[in-house]
Structure 1
Amino acid sequence: MKDSNAKPLTEGELDRLEELLASFDNAMTLERVDGFFAALICGPELVQLEEWLLAVLGENYARANDDDARNTVLLLIRHWNTIADTLEFTLSEETVYLPVLSLDEEDGVAHANEWADGFMDGINMRRESWQELFSDENHAGSLVPVLMLYHEDDPDPELRTDPKALENREEIIQVMIASLTHIYRYFDERRQENARRDAAESMPRKSDKVGRNEPCPCGSGRKYKHCCGAGSSTLH
């Protein structure tokens, strides 16, 4: 039987998640969550579920309706796992992760600014560990599409992206999607090293061998390969 936490969200479930997020005070939008998750999954360091939940839903999320809070968390975990699984496939297959982008109500165009904001939120949560990529002259260009969209409406005129550079927004978004795969591959070795280190610190030294597709013994509800035995960056 397929792990219920591994099933991608349907269109209806994405709409429901969007509604639930809007019901919390100071929660991220769905588009921003998607970018935030993508950065955390691509990055070299694992982030615990409790930490990213606080960032996504805000400090008062526990005060919301219990059923709504529970359903929101379950939907968020499934969406996280969808992104993590798809990006892991990019290591061995010709595939890409397609971001969840909202269409502007006025022009019907996906602007992707909130997605870029979320991605930068994820980077800033572990900024020091991302510095390697920012400083790498050969690979830092993979961050350019995100930074262009992130700085489009920057209050500082000197940081604001030149509007002419964003005239072909659809092309920039396509490059951003391809760059996501590049960033995930760039940090893959570091991510696996950190996952092994964290697993060694958190798991008992003497334990029965756990299959990669079996439930993780830590109780997160996810497969071992996506949790304490992570070679990918699905977190708990």
Structure 2
Amino acid sequence: MTRRARIPALALDDLEAWLADQPDIARRNWTVFAIDGFCAALVVSPERIATDAWLRVIFGPSLPTAPMGLAAVQAVLDHRQAVHRALHIDQGRRWSPLYMLIDDGTVLAQPWAAGFMFAVKRWPVAWRPMFERNDHVGLMLPIIACSEAEEVEKLIANRPKEVRDHIGRAYHHIPEAVCAIRDYWRHHAAAR
């Protein structure tokens, strides 16, 4: 039996360009930043999601077969593995989300948070216990605040500046929130 050669993966910048050139994928707002959030949710998820199932969420029902498409799939697989290593093996000590950075230095965490929340919404039954326990749903607040940024901004528009500034810095709390969510599900699984 011959071993299949590993397909070289695209670099993340090249993956971003490839995703933008795929009309169906771009229309569904899949960027490297959203994929990073999605991968983080998969890694800390309460249940293991089959690789084919989550790849099809990003790439559609038919995975790419052209060489560049295969390299894009490999890049996503490699990235998910890197997020897994950082959050589980390294315990999240050096892990940080990939946020979009605008030319003026503004950080946009919304694409990352939207990718994370897409996984939560895609597999709601698995995530339900966290939302049903009022004492733990707060772990998700920094991610929710960033994923629903426009709605949150409307809600706090008339609030004092320090409240608006605090919510505007919610993305700073995402790394610790993700690690706390990971720990919550570990404890939840051990208790079962």
- Normalised TM-score (structure 2): 0.79
User: For residues 145-183 of structure 1, what are the alpha-carbon distances to aligned partners after superposition, in whole Å with 9 as ceiling and x for unaligned?
Assistant: 1111122224xx8x9542454424673112111111000
User: What residue is the counterpart of 2:31 in the other structure?
Assistant: 29
Alpha-carbon distance between aligned partners in 2 of 1:23 and 1:193, rounded to the nearest angstrom: 46
Question: In structure 2, what residue type is equivalent to 1:162?
Answer: I
Q: Give the residue type in structure 1 aligned to 2:156.
A: D
Q: Which residue of 2 aligns with 1:46?
A: 48
Q: Counting helix residues as a fraction of each chain, which structure ranks higher?
A: 2
CA pair 127-113 structure 1, distance change in 2 beyond 3 A: same
Q: Is the 1:148–1:161 Cα contact (8 Å) retained in structure 2?
A: no
CA contact (8 A) 1:43 1:184 kept: yes
- The residue that corresponds to 1:203 in the other structure is none
Aligned residue in 1 for 2:98 = 100
- The answer to whether the 8 A contact 1:17-1:30 is kept is yes
Instruction: Look up the match of 2:141.
Output: 144
How many Å separate the matches in 2 of 1:149 and 1:67?
Answer: 35
CA contact (8 A) 1:34 1:99 kept: yes
CA contact (8 A) 1:25 1:57 kept: no
Question: Is residue 2:68 matched to residue 1:74?
Answer: no
**CA 1:16–1:161 in structure 2 vs 1: closer, same or farther (change >3 Å)?**
farther
Count of aligned positions:
178
1:162 is aligned, of 156, 169, 190, to 156
Unpaired runs of at least 5, structure 1: 195-236
Partner of 2:185: 187
Distance 1:192 1:53 in 2: 28
Whole-angstrom distance in 2 between the partners of 1:47 and 1:121: 14
Shift of 1:188: 2.0
**Which residue of the other structure, out of 104, 108, 111, is the alignment partner of 2:108?**
111
Structure 2 residue runs of 5 or longer lacking an equivalent are 1-5
Distance 1:136 1:96, change over 3 A: farther
Q: Over the residues paired in the alignment, what is the CA RMSD in angstroms?
A: 3.0
Per mean C-alpha deviation after superposition, the further-off stretch among 51-60 and 108-117 is 51-60
